[in-house]
Amino acid sequence: MVCTIEISEKPKLNDPILIEGLPGIGFVANIAALHLISELKAKRFAEIVSASFQDFAVTTEKGGARSPMNELYYYQRDDGGRDLIIWYGNTQALTTFGQYELVGKVLDIAQELGCRFVISIGGFKKDEVQPVPAIYSAATDQETMKEALNLGTKIMVGHVFGIAGLLIGLGKLRDMKGFALLVETLGMYPDANAARYALTALSKYLNLNVDLSKLDATVEQTKKILESFGLIRNIAEEKKKEEQQMRWFI
Residue 220 parent element (H or E)? helix 215-228
Q: How far apart are CA 58 and CA 47, in angstroms?
A: 17
CB of 57 to a second copy, least distance (A): 4
Residue 127 C-beta-side C-alpha neighbours within 13 Å: 0
- Beta carbons within 8 Å of 38's beta carbon, 6+ residues apart: 214, 218
Residue with Cβ nearer a second copy (12 or 146): 146
Nearest to 26 by CA among 135, 163, 189: 189
Residue with Cβ nearer a second copy (80 or 157): 157
The number of angstroms, rounded, from the C-alpha of 76 to the middle of its chain's C-alpha atoms is: 19
Stretch that binds a second copy, among 19-27, 33-41, 45-53, 205-213 (CB under 8 A): 45-53
- Per-residue interface string for the shown chain with a second copy, residues 96-135, x marking contact by CB under 8 A: xx-xxx--xx------------------------------
Q: Which of 30, 70, 140, 193 binds a second copy (CB under 8 A)?
A: 140
Q: How far apart are CA 210 and CA 208, in angstroms?
A: 6
- Beta carbons within 8 Å of 240's beta carbon, 6+ residues apart: none
Residue with Cβ nearer a second copy (140 or 218): 140
- Per-residue interface string for the shown chain with a second copy, residues 4-43, x marking contact by CB under 8 A: x-x-------------------------------------
Q: Which of 7, 14, 15, 59 binds a second copy (CB under 8 A)?
A: 59
CB of 97 to a second copy, least distance (A): 5
Q: How far apart are CA 50 and CA 62, in angstroms?
A: 26
Q: Which of 11, 43, 44, 47 binds a second copy (CB under 8 A)?
A: 47
Largest CA distance in the chain: 50
Residue 57 lies near a second copy (rule: CB under 8 A): yes
Please answer whether residues 191 and 30 qualify as being in contact, where contact means their C-beta atoms are separated by less than 8 angstroms: no
Residues that bind a second copy (CB under 8 A): 1-2, 4, 6, 47, 49-59, 61-69, 94, 96-97, 99-101, 104-105, 137-142, 145, 148-149, 155-163, 165-166, 168-170, 172-173, 180, 230, 247-248
